[in-house]
Amino acid sequence: MISSIRVGAKSNWAIAICAVVLLVFFLVSILAPWIAPHDPIQVNLALKLSSPSWEYPLGTDHLGRCNLSRLLYGARVSLGFASLIFVASLGVGLLVGTIAGYRGGWIDLFLMRFCDGVMAFPNLVLVLGIVGLLGPGLWQVVLALMMVQWVYYARMIRGMVVSMKQQNFITAARISGSSTGKIIRRHLVPNVLPPILVMGTLEMGWAIMDISALSFLGLGIQPPTPEWGAMIQEGKNFIRSQPELMLYPGLMILLVVISFNVLGESLSERFGVKRRY
Amino acid sequence: MATYLIKRLLAIIPIVLFAIFLMFILIRLSPVDPAEAYLAAANIHPTEGLLAEKRQEFGLDQSLIVQYFQTVKNIVQLDFGNSYVTNTPVWQEVAARMPATIQLALSSILLAVIVSVPLGFLSAVYKNSLIDHFSRLLSYLGASIPQFWLGYILIFFFAVKLDLFPVEGRGTWQHFVLPSVTLSMALIAIYTRLLRASVLEELEEVYVLYARTRGIKEKAIMVKHVLRIAISPMLTGLGMNLGKLLTGTIIVEQVFSWPGFGRFFIEAIFNRDIPVIQSYVVLAACLFIVCNLIVDIVQLYLDPRISWKGRTEY
């Protein structure tokens, strides 16, 4: 009893801290144009690789661009596109999952076999294959990550819909004359969403990691757009003289991803949501 | 046993067909014309005549269904075509680079197992102790740290500052250390948690209580009974995380200039070397399935409660 209270309190703390960290990052990404001291892609070769000063609090990179501004704008790119991928794949997953689960029959069979097919691949291998064939670029990466992620939402939502379909409140809604569309909108979706959002928290962390990894490989966000993974790629050339160039963006990724992971895990522990490995 | 194996092996066929199908569709959807990609990669100036000739050679003038079956037929015969860049069969390129990648993967798995088995086991036995907190911290870090960044951090401290290990390349055992540590961090994070959870679960089992009442030494119970069974979910994890390992090798090979298949694949993406990209994805899918099968078989030996018979229902 006492230990369970203690565990609860501990996970409350973890949830609060991570939520605050993420809130700050989201605020930074929205407010970047106003709080960044400089234009993140403004090249100034006279000031290249300068040390921290009042004007450039974290110094400048090899093209004389303000490091702090690039880091702040980087939050915008990472969080923005991760959110986009999350919303888009959740949307597709919700559509496919509810249709498959509610309708059943051959539609269900077909859609789920397709999901199984996609899940049979190692995730990032498929993403790399898609990006490889469509060509490097930001939108290709977003599309590829979305194409791989929606499957997990669809699978999970379908499972929940199938078990929910048997329950009395759905039967009651049907007897009282609600249309299929209304049942899905009013009864199934609201019940399915909370655990899916918990799962989505973990997926956000993965999406940010994947975006930065692909940008690091040169397949995602192209220079000069400030993105953390791409900044590490550029900064690594100065590892002997200016290691902080690659140190800062990595710390940002680590901080955001670890917050998403801890938050997601604490939430799923709390609400008993099973996570995938 | 034989029927189980045959069934599992037959299950590979639809997945490989699906992989080929997916790649096939993507190639057709892609804005890149394979004939143009070929000429660009081979540094030949594209003229209308050459393009038409190449299109015919690749069979692009035939109907889609014919093209698809041709692709399947080629891959079944292990003919992945020629690389556009080097103009040698992809199969040879793969064979030349695979050993380096497999060595890296195996050394990382080995390292991950060496670290995470004792760590996960001890953090379950001494729950909420210092070692448990340490392993929790380590697994959060391992799961959240970007692999490429970790690689450079290790290079910075151990190669640049302390000059203990070489920065890049392959050859001596020292070359293995930094790439393997980088690659194994993510695995250590997962395995430690998995083993801890399953040891905790096993400790609640009746057979542990029975063994204790029989007066068997605690150490013997732990090692001979609990660990042996608790390790089973870790093996599943090993199979399921093979994807992570594969993509991990791509990134780590890039960071440490490791001459493996992953780097070759990234180069192929930049060169639009379609046969190489296609074969990488198909081979990765095959490898993934086969390794999971091997994991399942090993598991059967470790946990006597899982019978062959139950498994044939699969």
Nearest to B269 among A121, A131, A209 (CB): A131
CB-CB neighbors (< 8 A) of B268 in chain A: 132
Distance from CA of B42 to the nearest CA of A (A): 18
Backbone angles phi, psi at A59, to 5 degrees: 80, -170
- Is the predicted pLDDT of residue A2 greater than 60, yes or no? no
Nearest to B269 among A117, A136, A239 (CB): A136
Position A276 confidence tier, pLDDT thresholds 50, 70, 90: very low
ipTM over 0.90: no
Contact (CB<8Å) B148/A243: no
Contact A266, B149 (CB under 8 A): no
Arithmetic mean of pLDDT, A198-212: 87
Distance from CA of B89 to the nearest CA of A (A): 19
Q: How far apart are CA B291 and CA B296, in angstroms?
A: 9
Measured between alpha carbons, how far is residue B153 from residues A218, A246, B253 in Å?
A: 20, 9, 15
What's residue A12's pLDDT? Answer: 79
Mean pLDDT, rounded, of chain A: 82
Token reading at A256: 């955001």
Distance from CA of B269 to the nearest CA of A (A): 5
Which range is least confidently modeled, A10-19, A25-34, A38-47, A233-242? A38-47
| Chain length of chain A | 277
Q: Chain B residue with minimal CA distance to A260? A: B144
Contact (CB<8Å) A277/B149: no
Q: Chain A residue with minimal CA distance to B279? A: A129
* Cβ under 8 Å to B: A residues 86-115: none
A148-187 residue pLDDT tens: 888 988 988 888 888 888 888 888 888 888 888 888 888 8
Position A47 confidence tier, pLDDT thresholds 50, 70, 90: low
pLDDT tens, chain B, 314 aa long = 677 778 777 877 887 788 788 888 887 777 777 777 777 777 777 777 777 777 777 767 777 777 788 778 887 777 777 787 777 888 888 888 888 888 888 889 899 989 998 999 889 888 888 988 899 889 888 888 998 899 888 888 888 778 777 777 777 777 788 888 889 998 898 889 888 888 888 888 888 888 888 888 888 888 777 888 888 778 777 777 777 788 788 888 888 888 888 888 888 888 888 888 888 888 888 887 788 778 777 777 766 665 555 444 33
A102-123 residue pLDDT tens: 888 888 888 888 888 788 777 7
Testing the interface with B: which of A128, A212, A244, A251 to mutate, by most B Cβ within 10 A?
A: A128
Which range is least confidently modeled, A31-45, A93-107, B293-307? B293-307
Backbone angles phi, psi at B254, to 5 degrees: -70, -45
What is the model's pTM? 0.83
Contact (CB<8Å) B265/A132: yes
What's residue A7's pLDDT? Answer: 53
Contact B103, B290 (CB under 8 A): no
Contact A171, A41 (CB under 8 A): no
End-to-end Cα spacing for chain A: 30
Q: How far apart are CA A160 and CA A199, in angstroms?
A: 13
Q: What is the dihedral of CA B37, B40, B42, B45, to 10 degrees?
A: 130
Contact B297, B247 (CB under 8 A): no
Position A274 confidence tier, pLDDT thresholds 50, 70, 90: low
Q: Is A139 on the interface with B (CB under 8 A)?
A: no
Q: Chain B residue with minimal CA distance to A235? A: B152
Contact (CB<8Å) B26/A133: yes
